[in-house]
Each structure stands twice: as structure tokens, then as C-alpha cells.
Chains A and B, each alone.
Chain A
Amino acid sequence: AQSVTQPDIHITVSEGASLELRCNYSYGATPYLFWYVQSPGQGLQLLLKYFSGDTLVQGIKGFEAEFKRSQSSFNLRKPSVHWSDAAEYFCAVGWHNYGQNFVFGPGTRLSVLP
């Protein structure tokens, strides 16, 4: 079955430091890839998505992500973290016409130190 892993349950970074959140998926077919962010007690907001083309995609709030087919990864990055980026981040993967259409990862909680 398809699966999505986010190896880091919780990450803490200092404000102004760079950030990378990891996401890996299990199935080999070309997937559709998404990153969402969730603030406490709220719903999820789309940060960015990748379908095809340039493997480095830009999103909102200064985030970017890179698709690496050889590593089945879609890692999220930000060069300089702000205190307001503290939230939970979810990677999601969609597969066309294969079993369940999409799966969310378990999430990574980001804390930001002042």
C-alpha cells in the first residue's frame, strides 16, 4: 500500500535559522505532491504543490520544496524561519488511479526559539 513518511515528529529551530522538513513516499509511480501547514486548533492551509516540470517549486510564506525522484522525497525548505512559522506541517501525496488516491503523512511539529 502507498505510504507517506515524515521522519521527524518534532523539530526545534531558532528564529532566523534555515529549515528543512523531510517527506518520503513509498510508491514508485509519479505522484502528485503537496505540503500543508496547520496552526493549533485550525484547519490545513496549502503551502505548495508539485505535479510536473521544474522539480523546485515555490510556495507561499517563503517556503519551497524539491522533488527528488531517485530518493522518493519531497522536502520542504525555508532559508530563514520566523516565529510565526511555528505550526504542524503535513506532506500529502496523490497517486492517479492506484488504490487510495492520496495519503497524508503523520506531520512534523515545528517549534521556533526566539
Chain B
Amino acid sequence: DGGITQSPKYLFRKEGQNVTLSCEQNLNHDAMYWYRQDPGQGLRLIYYSQIVNDFQKGDIAEGYSVSREKKESFPLTVTSAQKNPTAFYLCASSIDDRDISNQPQHFGDGTRLSIL
């Protein structure tokens, strides 16, 4: 079955440590997204990528970094510069690289990141 796989499901980070969240899709979608979800705040866009080797900052990119070396993969690194990283992180994809405003997104099941 096609879908989006996020790993790990739970992740713990020590202070000052970088961690990388994995997101892989086999839907052959061009666009991929990373969101942060906090209670009562809905989803906030961190980064998105419409094509390989290109990505754009969202609303809350500070303290995060991404890469898009392959179409199916869009890993997110939470750096030590992100002072409040505890949250639920969701990866999504949509079908093509043109106008992303009109495209439904397919979501993974998320990674919950906590600080030790």
C-alpha cells in the first residue's frame, strides 16, 4: 500500500543535541511538508519542498533544517537552536509541484519528540 512512513514514532532528545526525524513516501508525490503540532494551535508549517533539491521555509523554520536529496525522502533535523522542541511532528505530501494551495495532503502518523 502507498503511504507516508515516519520514524521513529517516539523520540527523546537531550539538551544541546540535534535529532533527525525521518519521512519517506512511496506515493510518487512531488511536494512534501513538515508540520509541528502543539495542543490548541493546530498545525504550523515548518518547511516544504515542491521539488528535489529545493525547499522553502514555512512559518516556524527557525531551529529546524531539512534536505530533499531524493523525491521520496524529506528528513527534518531539529537542531539545538530550537529551544522548545517538544511537540508532535507530522510529515505530509501532495501530488504535484505546481500550485500547492489547491492540493489535498496525505499525512504520516507523526513522531512525538520529547526533551529528556
Contact = CB atoms under 8 A, between A and B. Distances in A.
Interface of A: 9, 32, 34, 36, 41-46, 49, 51, 90, 94-97, 100-102, 104-107
Contact of A32 (B58, B102, B106): B102
A102 B101 contact: yes
Nearest to A102: B101
Contacts of B110: 41-43
Contact of B109 (A43, A51, A95, A97): A43
Interface in B37-62: 40-45, 58-59
A73 B43 CA distance: 19
16 contacts: A9-B40, A34-B104, A36-B107, A41-B112, A42-B109, A43-B107, A43-B109, A44-B105, A46-B106, A49-B104, A101-B100, A102-B100, A104-B42, A106-B40, A106-B41, A106-B42
Contact of A107 (B42, B92, B102): B42
Interface hub of A43, A90, A102, A107 (most chain B Cβ within 10 A): A43
Interface residues of B, number: 25
B90 A44 contact: yes
A43 B4 contact: yes
Contacts of B41: 106
A44 B107 contact: yes
B63 interface: no
B42 A43 contact: no
B43 A96 contact: no
A96 B102 contact: yes
B116 to A, nearest CB: 20
Contacts of A34: 104
A97 B100 CA distance: 10
Nearest to B44: A104
Contact of A90 (B40, B43, B44, B100): B43
A35 to B, nearest CB: 10
